[in-house]
């Protein structure tokens, strides 16, 4: 049994039909996006996960299509056929899915290239009034301080032509994540929220941690660690 999992009520953090998950490279956006999509499917929703990660060949939602489709999640991702790995094409179906899908989660690659790919669909996205979740990880290089995380957000917003609507604290140290890892990240996440004027929507913690030690954190959200590097 997962320690303490009965002591908290998992919170469903999606508020709008279309949700964009963005953030700096390596903050755990893809794992979070997959978890959100699977949670939607478990609740009986017709959900599509759009993979706009054209940045990282190791951590893409489309690489987890098997587990997603088995759970009833549709996946639309980059087309790597007949392309250079660094510049995959994006299917035209993305616009249709964003405009017409009943529940859509968009997983965006990190850095400028990911934001640029997002910007291609900015008009369609703006028409859908999306929830744009900015994911932060205190322990990721270049975003260990709140001002750095805020600067990355402003760069993403400028390139993508979208504005974030909330912050998600996804701070972790991969397999070395402990309850203390999560607790110690809260000040950082709250500082980012204060500096941006955005609400801290939720904080994630891997299932298997002792949630009796974490249940004082407002809107704690358990996630499964599904995305791993090939060498892990």
pLDDT at site 183: 97
pLDDT at site 145: 96
Q: State the Cα–Cα distance between residues 197 and 126, nearest whole angstrom.
A: 20
Cβ neighbors of 79 (< 8 A, separation 6 or more) are 88, 89, 90, 91
Residue 44 lies in a domain: yes
105-158, pLDDT tens digit by residue? 999 977 667 788 888 889 999 999 999 999 999 999 889 999 999 999 999 999
Give mean pLDDT, residues 68-77.
90
Give mean pLDDT, residues 34-45.
93
Lookup result for tokens 């250079």: 84
Asked if residue 53 lies in contact with residue 107, where contact means CB atoms within 8 angstroms, the answer is: yes
Residue 178 lies in a domain: yes
Residue 10 lies in a domain: no
Residue 97 lies in a domain: yes
pLDDT at site 120: 86
Give the range of the structural domain holding residue 75, as residue numbers without chain letter: 16-223
Residue 110, domain CATH: 3.40.50.300
Average pLDDT, the chain: 85
Residue 232 lies in a domain: no
Residue 8 lies in a domain: no
DSSP-derived secondary structure for 121-173? THHHHHHH--EEEEEE-TTSTT-SSHHHHHHHHHHHHHHHT----EEEE---B
pLDDT at site 119: 87
Residue 202 lies in a domain: yes
How many domains does one find in the chain? 1
Residue 9 lies in a domain: no
């Amino acid at each position: 049994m997962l320690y303490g999992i009965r002591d908290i009520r998992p919170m469903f953090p999606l508020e709008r039909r279309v949700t964009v998950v963005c953030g700096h490279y390596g903050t755990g956006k893809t794992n979070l996006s997959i978890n959100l999509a699977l949670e939607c499917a478990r609740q009986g929703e017709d959900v599509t996960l759009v993979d706009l990660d054209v940045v990282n060949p190791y951590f893409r939602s489309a690489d987890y299509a098997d587990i997603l489709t088995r759970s009833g999640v549709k996946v639309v991702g980059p087309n790597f056929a007949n392309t250079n790995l660094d510049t995959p094409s994006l299917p035209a179906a993305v616009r249709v899915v964003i405009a017409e899908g009943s529940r859509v989660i968009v997983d965006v690659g990190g850095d400028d290239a990911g934001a640029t790919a997002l910007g291609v669909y900015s008009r369609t996205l703006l028409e859908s009034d999306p929830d744009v979740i900015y994911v932060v990880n205190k322990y990721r290089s270049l975003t260990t301080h709140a001002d750095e995380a805020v600067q990355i957000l402003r760069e993403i917003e400028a390139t993508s032509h979208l504005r974030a609507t909330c912050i998600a604290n996804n701070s972790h140290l991969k397999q070395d994540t402990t309850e203390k890892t999560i607790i110690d990240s809260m000040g950082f996440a709250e500082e980012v929220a204060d500096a941006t004027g955005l609400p801290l929507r939720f904080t994630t913690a891997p299932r298997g941690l002792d949630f009796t030690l974490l249940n004082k954190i407002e809107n704690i959200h358990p996630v499964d660690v599904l995305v791993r590097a090939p060498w892990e």
